[in-house]
């Protein structure tokens, strides 16, 4: 109405950073540890979108509400059932890992969310989500999603050697950490191998799957590679320290960004948190899992990590502990500085 005032916009500091994850089967604990790592270090408010099988919903609700209030006040969460808006739900459900294809439908389901960070359950944040969230501002006018390469060296990468379908760039993409501008994805028309004109995201998913289903090995990740092969201008590629996997150190260190800056987001794929093949990754997972929320971060997280890493120096990943510790140390210092400033601010009237 004329003259009616619009409600003021939320200042950026109060706006939510949206984080989505899909959890099925035995992934409850892994998902909770991932969310814990997000809450431990981030400074801005978080909105969690958890897509889970019905049987997991009550456990998620109970566990998240048990966290201390100093942490629960930093986030809100919604739990959604697993749903697929187009095609055959059973087919989608069985594609690669249980329910993983759900991530392809996030732009369609979360209609009111502008931007979103999707991560696999086996991801750990070693620095604030605020920092990867900033990368949304670096998108140019055509970019609508960001992922890291599947490999740094195409000659030993999986896609460059074995893929039987189109894939992005020279080494393909890993979709375990995916930053998305959902508004742009919903508006865009994507070039494809099906029809000469562009298709919307939702229109494209099922026909694309039907066309390539006999050639894809890694499920929804392969579909994303196919989509961005035809639409490379839509993708922002972020460096390997934002999606650091065993591949980056088990054949010798090959992620330059992590050597320079430290690992920002750890992705323990291949089940490495739960076996003894990569003890460095397992140590990080277990120390974050066992960290008592209200304890001192240096005493109960950083120092235990340092001593656990001493037992891993016989492995290729264990030879470069500074790569895993650099960002954590930086982040902890920042957390403490912020707390001291807040404390001083509360006790001084200027």
H/E/C letters for each residue in the chain? CCCCCCCCCCCCCCCCEEEEEEECCCCHHHHHHHHHHHHHHCCCCEEEEEEECHHHHHHHHHHHHHCCHHHHCCEEEEEECCCCCCCCHHHHHHCCCCCHHHHHHHHHHCCCCCEEEEECCCEEECCCHHHHHHHHHHCCCCCCEEEEECCCCHHHCHHHHHCCCCCCCCCCEEEEEEEEEHHHHHHCCECCCCCCCCECHHHHHHHHHHHHCCCCCCCHHHHHHHHHHHCHHHEEECCHHHCECHHHCECECCCHHHHHHCCCEEECCCCCCCCCCCHHHHHHHHHHHHCCCCCCHHHHHHHHHHHHHHCCCCCCHHHCHHHHHHHHHHHHHHHHHHHHHHHHHHHCCC
Please, where in the chain does CATH 3.90.550.10 lie?
17-238
Mean pLDDT, rounded, of the chain: 88
pLDDT digits (tens, 9 = 90+) for 271-309: 999 999 999 999 999 999 999 998 888 899 999 999 999
Instruction: Tell me which range, 8-17, 160-169, 235-244, is most confidently predicted by mean pLDDT.
Output: 235-244
Structure tokens at 246: 């065993």
With pLDDT > 70 as the criterion, what percentage of the chain qualifies?
Answer: 89
pTM for the model: 0.91
pLDDT of residue 337: 80
Least trusted range by pLDDT, from 18-32, 146-160, 185-199, 332-346: 332-346
Q: What is the homologous superfamily of the domain 17-238 according to CATH?
A: Spore Coat Polysaccharide Biosynthesis Protein SpsA; Chain A (3.90.550.10)
pLDDT of residue 278: 95
Is the model's pLDDT at 4 over the cut of 60?
no
């Amino acid at each position: 109405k004329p003259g009616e005032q619009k409600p003021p916009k939320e200042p950026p500091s109060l706006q939510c950073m949206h984080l989505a994850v899909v959890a099925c089967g035995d992934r409850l604990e892994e998902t909770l540890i991932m969310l814990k790592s997000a809450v431990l270090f981030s400074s801005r408010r978080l909105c969690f979108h958890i897509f889970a099988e019905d049987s997991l919903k009550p456990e998620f609700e109970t566990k998240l509400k048990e966290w201390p209030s100093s942490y629960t006040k930093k986030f809100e969460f919604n739990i959604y059932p697993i749903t697929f808006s187009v095609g055959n739900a059973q087919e989608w459900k069985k594609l690669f890992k249980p329910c993983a294809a759900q991530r392809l439908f996030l732009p369609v389901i979360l209609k009111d969310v502008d931007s979103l960070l999707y991560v696999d359950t086996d991801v750990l944040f070693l620095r604030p989500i605020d920092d990867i969230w900033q990368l949304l501002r670096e998108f140019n006018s055509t970019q609508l999603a960001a992922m890291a390469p599947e490999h740094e060296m195409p000659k030993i990468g999986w896609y460059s050697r074995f893929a039987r379908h189109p894939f992005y760039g020279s080494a393909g993409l890993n979709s375990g950490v995916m930053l998305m501008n959902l508004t742009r994805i919903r508006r865009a028309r994507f070039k494809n191998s099906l029809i000469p004109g562009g298709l919307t995201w939702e229109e494209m998913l099922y026909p694309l799957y039907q066309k390539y289903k006999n050639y894809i090995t890694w499920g929804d990740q392969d579909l994303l590679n196919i989509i961005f092969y035809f639409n490379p201008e839509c993708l922002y590629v972020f460096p390997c320290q934002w999606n650091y996997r065993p591949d980056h150190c088990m054949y010798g260190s090959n992620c330059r960004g992590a050597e320079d800056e430290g690992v920002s987001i750890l992705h323990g794929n291949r089940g490495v948190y739960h076996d003894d093949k990569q003890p460095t990754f397992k140590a990080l997972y277990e120390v974050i899992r066992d960290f008592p929320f209200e304890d001192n971060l240096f005493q109960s997280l950083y120092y235990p990590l340092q001593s656990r890493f001493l037992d891993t120096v016989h492995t290729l990943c264990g030879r470069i502990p500074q790569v895993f510790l650099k960002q954590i140390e930086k982040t902890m210092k920042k957390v403490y500085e912020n707390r001291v400033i807040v404390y001083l601010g509360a006790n001084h009237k200027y």
